[in-house]
Amino acid sequence: MAERTSTGLLTMMLEPTPAVAMTLPAEVREKLAELELELSEGDITQKGYEKKRGKLLAPYIPQIQGVDPSLQIDNRIQASSQSVLPGSKHNKTRPANTRDERFRSDLHTEAVQAALAKYKERKMPMPSKRRSVLVQSSVEACTPPDTSSASEDEGSLRRQGRLPTSTPYQSHSHPAVEHWFNRVIQSSSTSSSASSTSSHPGGRSVTNSTTHAALNANTAATALADLMAHTQLGVPVNSRVSSKIQQLLNTLKRPKRPPLREFFVDDFEELLDVQQPDPNQPKPEGQQMSPLEGEPLGVVTNWPPSLPAALQRWGTTQPKSPCLTALDNAGKPIYTLTYGKLWTRSQKLAYTLLNKLSTRNEPLLLPGDRVALVFPNNDPVMFMVAFYSCLLAELVPVPIEVPLTRKDAGSQQIGFLLGSCGVTLALTTDACQKGLPKAQTGEVATFKGWPRLLWFVTDGKHVVKPPKDWHPPVQEASNDIAYIEYKTSKEGSTMGITVSHSAMLAHCHALTQACGYSEGETITNVLDFKREAGLWHGVLTCVMNRMHVISIPYSLMKVNPLSWIQKVHTYKARVAVVKSRDMHWSLLAQRDQRDISLSSLRMLIVADGANPWSISSCDAFLNVFQARGLRPEVICPCASSSEAMTVAIRRPPEMGVPPPGKAVLSMGGLSHSVIRVDTDEKLSVLTVQDVGQVMPGALVCVVRVEGTPYLCQTDEVGEICVSSGSTGVAYYGLPGMTKNVFETIPVTSSGLPLSDRPFTRTSLLGFVGPDSLVFIAGKIDGLMVVSGRRHNADDVVATALAVEPMKFVYRGR
């Protein structure tokens, strides 16, 4: 409101009459706005401004004899006031009871003329370049009343455009009037240029609103002059007039909006306010931790020198031994892949990839090239054949998810990974290729962000049988890249983690020793077979030990959450690899199935045992299925990461390991990275279970999360780091990130390096408890720092799952 007043009053004083202003061409109004802008910026003097402006308005302002055109601005006010002098034809037609009767007073006429004369003599102040319209007009600007606050007669006059604007003053004005005019003039001068360009796009003013604002401002001046003139002579003022003018004054004093500086005071103070540490916060008091070393890797006689060598052994000596059984969405087995079939089909595909795919008589693929594996989650057989065929052909498989749409955001990141890896060929099945989006030519469409790929279907009719004298180059495990596993960070970017042949073999060896795997065992796998624990147990380690895998597709789990338990009972499986969600879902459907037994299980591996909420799923699952043959010591949570692979796992009971442990920790202490044991009775505690012992052949330490990787104290939470031959090697094509994650050198409190061996960061936050058991309290990706205190996103989920919903969780909160 204040901004509108100042702008309107200045426009009234500097623009032509309203009738003329409405007829000004658009280019003239634009040039006037540019002139005002030059004046406000100081690019032109006041005299030059008036001269140029007079030339612009000369053709549109009625000429007055004997007056300089530059002075017609002021003379226009006198000309407009002459239309309402006594004796004019407009006044003769007005009723006698209108408010114009008061304007016929000679005293009133003299007061208004004196005030305007005083104003004409005052020189307009030059506006400042850096003053804001909001700050200037917020407190000091004057706001005229709108039509709703005026009398009916005044509203009718305004609508007719015949409101009296007063005659030139011939007597002295009241000091209060002069002060009020000074404030209005000051406010108007600083905001005119800004309002002419910011209020109306393109710098064009709206004539109707400008005229209305000018009339309102003129009304305010006339009303105040009238009040002062009557008060000086002791003439009683009409109460209605007084209330209206008082209302006008109150409106003028009220700012339109707070000063601009008030919008930023609080935020600015928060930025300057450095969070001071609480002197009473808990601090670690223990000694510096010592590195934790796992048991040495045992020497196995007749151990295959590489994973392809193990496949060759079982494919030729045990060809009818079952390797993998696939199920349909109804839970029925649709195909069982034997080790003999896996060996021969992998040979055919490897030969085809190396010898039958060519461009311009040159082979399309050479050893070491990267190949994308695009297979759905319900076809583990074709994926396994494609994966081992790449290993036999010395190609590097890059398993990825099937793209859903051409512009899928997650698929774009996968495409960036494929481009950085130089992938030119994608292997898939015939059914999967038919479901992919197609271009107008009928070929598979190029997905957004993906490199141009050649799609090859791995079904039997497209694969050529190799000659009898051709044999794949089965060699010992080396440091060359075996496969690349993708990982998506919390920011959404996708990175490729390279795993060497030697690391893949060492990891299979460590898992075999830690889990006690033996030949011919049956394992039920509910996880994704393309990455992490599902790949490590259900595709790699199983082949090393000639195990039989029952692969449960995710689509079947959604239809029948008890399917994995039913297969454990049917196949008398010894090992099952699940997540806590699978255990939770089975609890909801267990009433539908009563004739099942889990007594055959010797190991139930909980792949996400590092999550704080997994303990509740494990306890609830044990309470229900203990009556059906499940032993408490069978549940084996583990901790892993894509970079370090398996970090720790709870051993099966027959291996003579210490009993499992639980830790009830204070949430307040954890928020300061300090371990403080508490009691179960409190709500502000976090109960975590151990994830077992360190993997064989690994060296583990805990370092501080921020800054230099100093070793933590024994009662301090930090990031777990692993030094082992069975971890990932690097982020493909990212040497900087590789050095920070895969080549960390922990240092002691004295600043000396802990070892000359590099460590790999796991992104797991935890500590080492009694009996050398590893406890995980969260992850780096879920870490939130609020007012200097650390919280983990997993803790929020664990708290929500731990409370009783009917008591603590309310709708709408």
Please state at what angle helix 614-625 crosses helix 793-802, rounded to 10 degrees. 40
The mean pLDDT of the chain is: 78
Percent of the residues in the chain that have a pLDDT greater than 70, as a whole number: 69
The pLDDT of residue 214 is 45
Pairing assessment for the beta strands 699-703 and 292-293 based on DSSP bridges: antiparallel
Contact 427, 374 (CB under 8 A): yes
Give the pLDDT mean for 684-705. 93
Contact 658, 773 (CB under 8 A): yes
Name the residue among 694, 705, 563, 687 with its Cα closest to residue 618. Answer: 687
- Backbone phi, then psi, for 61, in 5-degree steps? -105, 130
Question: What is the residue type of 365?
Answer: L
Q: Which residue has the tokens 């790929």?
A: 453
> How far, in whole angstroms, is CA 346 from its chain's centroid?
43
Q: Pick the more confident residue, 387 or 7.
A: 387
**Is residue 805 scored above 80 in pLDDT?**
no
The confidence band for 787, taking pLDDT boundaries of 50, 70 and 90, is confident
Is the Cα torsion angle 518, 604, 698, 773 positive or negative in sign?
negative
The pLDDT of residue 372 is 97
Contact 389, 464 (CB under 8 A): no
Which tokens is 609 given?
Answer: 């045992």
40 has which bridge partners?
A: none
CA distance readout (Å), 240 to 149, 245, 246, 657, 688: 12, 9, 10, 96, 78
**Which residues have a Cβ under 8 Å from the Cβ of 38 and sit 6 or more positions away?**
44, 49
Number of CB atoms found within 10 A of residue 589's CB: 13
Query: Which of these ranges, 26-30, 62-66, 326-330, has the smallest mean pLDDT?
Result: 62-66
Integer Cα distance of 686 and 436 in angstroms:
46
Question: What is the residue type of 400?
Answer: I
**Is residue 54 scored above 60 in pLDDT?**
yes
The pLDDT of residue 8 is 40
Q: Pick the more confident residue, 173 or 733.
A: 733
The pLDDT of residue 32 is 83
Each residue's pLDDT tens digit, 305-362: 999 999 999 999 999 999 999 999 999 999 999 999 999 999 999 999 999 887 777 8
**Is residue 715 scored above 90 in pLDDT?**
yes
Give the pLDDT mean for 131-144. 40
Query: Which of these ranges, 3-17, 101-115, 363-377, 435-449, has the smallest mean pLDDT?
Result: 3-17
The pLDDT of residue 71 is 46
Integer Cα distance of 638 and 690 in angstroms:
8
Each residue's pLDDT tens digit, 546-595: 999 999 999 999 999 999 999 999 999 999 999 999 998 888 877 766 78
Query: Which of these ranges, 135-149, 352-366, 417-431, 690-704, has the smallest mean pLDDT?
Result: 135-149
Which tokens is 85 given?
Answer: 């002098």
The pLDDT of residue 73 is 43
Q: Which residue has the tokens 């996708």?
A: 494
Q: Which residue has the tokens 């749409």?
A: 405
- The separation between the first and the last C-alpha atoms of the chain, rounded to the nearest angstrom, is 39
Each residue's pLDDT tens digit, 614-657: 898 999 999 999 999 999 999 999 999 999 999 999 998 777 77
The pLDDT of residue 405 is 78
The pLDDT of residue 623 is 93
- Backbone phi, then psi, for 536, in 5-degree steps? -65, -45
Percent of the residues in the chain that have a pLDDT greater than 90, as a whole number: 46
Contact 562, 586 (CB under 8 A): yes
**Which residues have a Cβ under 8 Å from the Cβ of 318 and sit 6 or more positions away?**
339, 340, 546
The pLDDT of residue 25 is 81
Each residue's pLDDT tens digit, 432-449: 999 998 888 888 888 888
- Backbone phi, then psi, for 569, in 5-degree steps? -70, -40
808 has which bridge partners?
A: none
Query: Which of these ranges, 153-167, 327-341, 402-416, has the smallest mean pLDDT?
Result: 153-167
Give the pLDDT mean for 26-48. 81
Give the pLDDT mean for 510-525. 96
Give the pLDDT mean for 121-130. 47
The confidence band for 110, taking pLDDT boundaries of 50, 70 and 90, is low
Give the pLDDT mean for 199-212. 42
Q: Pick the more confident residue, 295 or 118.
A: 295
The pLDDT of residue 774 is 95
Number of CB atoms found within 10 A of residue 60's CB: 14
The pLDDT of residue 116 is 66
Integer Cα distance of 311 and 545 in angstroms:
10
Which tokens is 259 given?
Answer: 């000063």
Q: Pick the more confident residue, 805 or 733.
A: 733
Query: Which of these ranges, 183-192, 527-536, 577-586, has the smallest mean pLDDT?
Result: 183-192
The pLDDT of residue 146 is 42
Q: Pick the more confident residue, 765 or 61.
A: 765
Integer Cα distance of 360 and 580 in angstroms:
52
Which tokens is 17 given?
Answer: 């009459």
The pLDDT of residue 118 is 63
Question: What is the residue type of 289?
Answer: M
The pLDDT of residue 590 is 73
Pairing assessment for the beta strands 292-293 and 685-689 based on DSSP bridges: unpaired
Integer Cα distance of 565 and 597 in angstroms:
8
Q: Between the CA atoms of 74, 77, 80 and 84, what dihedral angle is there, to the nearest 10 degrees?
A: -140
Name the residue among 485, 304, 473, 476 with its Cα closest to residue 393. Answer: 473
The pLDDT of residue 418 is 95
